[in-house]
Structure 1
Amino acid sequence: MKLYIRNMVCNRCIMAVEKLLADEGLQVQSIQLGEVEVAGKPEKAVLQKLDADLQAIGFALMDDKKSRLIERMKNVIIQHVHHSDMPGDKHLSDLITESIHNDYNYLSNLFSEVEGITLEKFYIRQKIERVKELLAYDEDSITNIAYQTGYSSAAHLSRQFKEITGFTPSAFKALKGHRKPLDKL
């Protein structure tokens, strides 16, 4: 049986959910961001307890199709921005369409309707969080960071960074911090 879980955004999330499932006696066959395949069909009481336990650590079971689509879109973006070498040679619409195999306009409208933010803005916020992470490491120039995060230039990155954070990348670097967890964006 496939379970869909909200707010899984990193490998630590996968480990936490996998441990919780094991503690509940569920055998995990496969696990990735937002989706878990378990052996058999757990009883309703087990699923209710699992949902309560997941909520206690910041996750939740999802059971409706729209929520699952939105979570998949978020996970595709997070995976692309935070867990891949992503120079921006692919448009967001192509990335989403290829990964989810659904009409981009439908997905974009659904995301905006439910989340109150456009897919594009969510994507930009994720990229800015990645930029913050790279700035905190203090190992690369703004130009290299712009390239790594798919920006056309350091100037474009700087403009968008200031628009979102209120700081220039250099000013942010001097502050040493102010990053948000991925599930709070």
Structure 2
Amino acid sequence: MNNTTLRIRDMVCGRCVDTVRTELTRLGYAVTEVGLGSATIAGELTETQLDTIRRVLEEQGFSLLTDRRAMLVNQVKTLIEQTLNREDLGETKWRFSDLIQQAFSLDYDTISSLFSQAEGITLEKYIISKRLDKVKEKLVYTDLTLADIAYQTGYSSVAHLSNQFKQQIGLTPSYFRKVRQEKLELQQQHVATD
């Protein structure tokens, strides 16, 4: 029996994986694997079944990809997310352009051009945006120093991270650290009043 692999757009976290698995199982499919950007189902699907899956996924905020270009863009996004979630990101010297080119066996400029056409934003700006989202997350939810965050997100220095952060976000990293402190104070006040 053949398996069908579905390419799914906007799957960016573990909850997304769980949601897709739950919905496909609820529809009665034998789900063999679900990961960021894809799900594999035992057997082949008819157009009617694909339409049903498409509708259910759209209700959950996802979209089923059928266009090869859209699938490539989604796979690039998934690679970027997976890379930024790696714990050992700062341990080796690497560049996203090399990583993407190697993963897809296509020239980086070709991939970048396809990405820009499909998303309306350059691949470089998308990577910077996702990287800075990860920095913001670490500033608000961890006690890591800015130096540790720069290292873990692949920045060459704190200065580079700070400059790019201020330039792209319009705020300083210390502002987000302050948000963390305010959250902690509110939580402590809430605990004290209970």
Secondary structure (helix, strand or coil) at the match of 2:94 reads coil
What residue identity is the alignment partner of 2:169? T
Match of residue 33 from structure 1: 36
The structure with more radius of gyration: 2
What residue identity is the alignment partner of 2:44? K
What residue identity is the alignment partner of 1:171? Y
Match of residue 191 from structure 2: none
CA contact (8 A) 1:112 1:119 kept: yes
C-alpha displacement of 1:175: 3.0
* Runs of 5+ consecutive residues of structure 2 not aligned to the other structure: 182-194
What residue identity is the alignment partner of 2:147? T
Q: Deviations over 1:11-61 (max 9, x none)?
A: 111111011110111111222111122111122222111111101111011
Identity rate, percent: 40
Report the more deviating stretch, 46-55 or 63-72. 46-55
1:167 counterpart = 2:167: no
C-alpha displacement of 1:109: 0.6
- The answer to which structure, 1 or 2, has the higher relative contact order (CA under 8 A, 6+ apart) is 1
Match of residue 24 from structure 1: 27
Residues in 1 aligned to 2:134 and 2:59: alpha-carbon distance in whole angstroms = 27
TM-score (norm 2): 0.86
* Runs of 5+ consecutive residues of structure 1 not aligned to the other structure: 178-185
Aligned CA distance change for structure 1 residues 138 and 41 (closer, same or farther; 3 Å): closer
Report the more deviating stretch, 61-70 or 91-100. 91-100
**Aligned equivalent of 1:114, options 118, 123, 128:** 118
CA contact (8 A) 1:147 1:153 kept: yes
Q: Deviations over 1:120-171 (max 9, x none)?
A: 1111111101111110124111111111111111111011111111111001
Matches within 5 A, 1:1-185: 1-87=4-90, 89-176=93-180
Report the more deviating stretch, 159-168 or 78-87. 78-87
Secondary structure (helix, strand or coil) at the match of 2:58 reads helix
TM-score (norm 1): 0.90
Provide the aligned C-alpha RMSD in A: 1.5
